[in-house]
Amino acid sequence: MNQPIGIMDSGVGGLSIASVLIKKLPNESIIYLADSKNCPYGEKSKEEIYSLTKKMVKFLLKSRIKLLVVACNTITVASIDRLRTEFGQIPIVGIVPVIKTAREKTTNGKIGVFSTTATANSFYQKDLVNKFANDCSVLNLGSERLVPLIEKRNFESVDEVLKTELEPFKKAQIDTLALGCSHFPLIKDQIQRYLPGVLILDSSNAVSRQIQRILKQNKTLSNSTNPSYNFYTTGNLNALRYFAEKLTNKAKLSRISLQ
């Protein structure tokens, strides 16, 4: 069956998931949708996020996707349950930081979680921390400055922001950091430079394993030898092009507006 997998994010961040999926499931076609025009989502109310998200889902459903990846921590935290209720016709996979893995990997019991401010402050995330790492010292911090800078590919300013915003993690002597925003794996090397020796974990591998499991279970794994990769954005095509063309030379890029 060669129906595509749909991936959506408020911007280019979900490409960190697309990148792993293209490598791990090379027969699968992908439709990626970035709502870069409305990015960042973190500053919006839950209702606003849900109404924007619904438009994205409807667009992807028209493309007959067989599974939806909500490759955005902010949308997952704000709306995953509602999305699953309203769009029960397809499996929906969300993204959360891999706190359980961080708990397994830490050797000094000091863990960091780095997300957008909205995600860091959410009950959803605080619950995850309590559930999976309540016997560790966990520093759960957010940044709202990085996502817009990554969208603009302003890596110099990213560096300046990281210098100050990663300092508390350094002071707390964490040895493991779980990324709680899908944009952040795109600047993993820059983060690593400020936190040398710290193990940085993103959620892409966990999400891709989950997707593989669901497709296998539903017998909807593709065996196509010629998968397609369509990338759509509601905003600036250059940002999407910059990151998407690093993933595949078969990227088809388009700008759209959502109804």
Binding site for ligand DGL (CB under 6 A): 9-11, 13, 39-42, 72-74, 116, 119, 147, 181-183
Q: Which of 167, 148, 168 is nearest to 158 (CA)?
A: 148
Q: State which residue, 98 or 181, has the beta carbon closest to ligand DGL.
A: 181
> Cβ of residue 147: shortest distance to ligand DGL, in angstroms?
5
Give me the catalytic one of 65, 72, 92, 201: 72
The set of residues, in sequence order, having a beta carbon less than 8 Å from that of 35 and lying 6+ positions away, is 8, 9, 10, 11, 41, 52, 56, 233, 234, 235, 258
> Cβ of residue 1: shortest distance to ligand DGL, in angstroms?
29
Four-CA torsion 61, 67, 68, 73, nearest 10 degrees: 170
Give me the catalytic one of 7, 98, 120, 181: 181
Helix (H, G, I), strand (E, B) or coil at 248: coil
Q: State which residue, 21 or 222, has the beta carbon closest to ligand DGL.
A: 21
Q: Which of 7, 46, 54 is nearest to 258 (CA)?
A: 54
Q: State which residue, 113 or 222, has the beta carbon closest to ligand DGL.
A: 113
What DSSP state is assigned to residue 255? E
Active site residue 136: no
> Cβ of residue 82: shortest distance to ligand DGL, in angstroms?
17
Where in the sequence numbering do the catalytic residues fall?
72, 181
